């Protein structure tokens, strides 16, 4: 029984160690791609992939850094800052989409007048 318990603990530890981080859009709850991750010193750690997932290598680079805070940047979303300790315990990071209010636009068809020479 002790042997099975030890194996169970080892498997749980591996799952915990290999957990990855992902980015979601708060309005659609879908993954957000290509999020830039910066340290508090302005150093670019890297980007999430096309599915909004942080690779294990990038995850390890962030977790082994001396940064106290990290910032997530993408032109479509508001910048979000998070402490490294919060990053460690938050597997899914939700970002808020930037909203841009446009002035009213009127679209109409413009008739073109053709002159035919006879």
- The full set of domain ranges for the chain reads 20-95
Reported as a single tens digit per residue, the pLDDT across 55-85 is 999 999 999 998 999 999 999 999 999 999 9
pLDDT at 10: 56
Q: What is the pTM of this model?
A: 0.69
Task: Return the closest-CA partner of residue 35 out of 57, 19, 51.
Answer: 51
Q: What percent of the chain has pLDDT over 90?
A: 61
Reported as a single tens digit per residue, the pLDDT across 34-46 is 999 999 999 999 9
Q: Which fold has domain 20-95?
A: Immunoglobulin-like (2.60.40)
pLDDT at 108: 81
Report residue 38 as tokens.
Answer: 């910066």
CA–CA gap between residue 51 and residue 100 (Å, rounded) = 24
Q: Taking residues 18-46, what's their average pLDDT?
A: 90
- In the DSSP assignment, the letter for residue 111 is P
pLDDT at 14: 44
DSSP 11-77: HHHHHHHT---EEEETTT--B----EEEETTS-EEEE--TTSBPPHHHHHHHHTS--SEEEEEETTE
- 3-state SS class at 86: helix
Dihedral through CA 73, CA 86, CA 90, CA 99, nearest 10? -30
């Amino acid at each position: 029984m002790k042997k099975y318990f030890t194996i169970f603990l080892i498997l749980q530890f591996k799952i915990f160690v290999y957990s990855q981080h992902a980015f979601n859009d708060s309005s659609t709850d879908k993954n957000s791609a290509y999020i830039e991750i910066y340290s508090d010193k302005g150093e670019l750690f890297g980007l999430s992939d096309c599915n909004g997932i942080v690779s294990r290598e990038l995850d390890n680079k962030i977790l082994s850094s001396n940064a106290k805070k990290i910032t997530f940047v993408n032109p479509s979303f508001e910048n979000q800052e998070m402490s490294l300790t919060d990053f460690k315990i938050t597997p899914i990071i939700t970002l808020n989409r930037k909203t841009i209010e446009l002035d009213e636009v009127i679209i109409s068809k413009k008739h073109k007048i053709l002159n035919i020479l006879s």
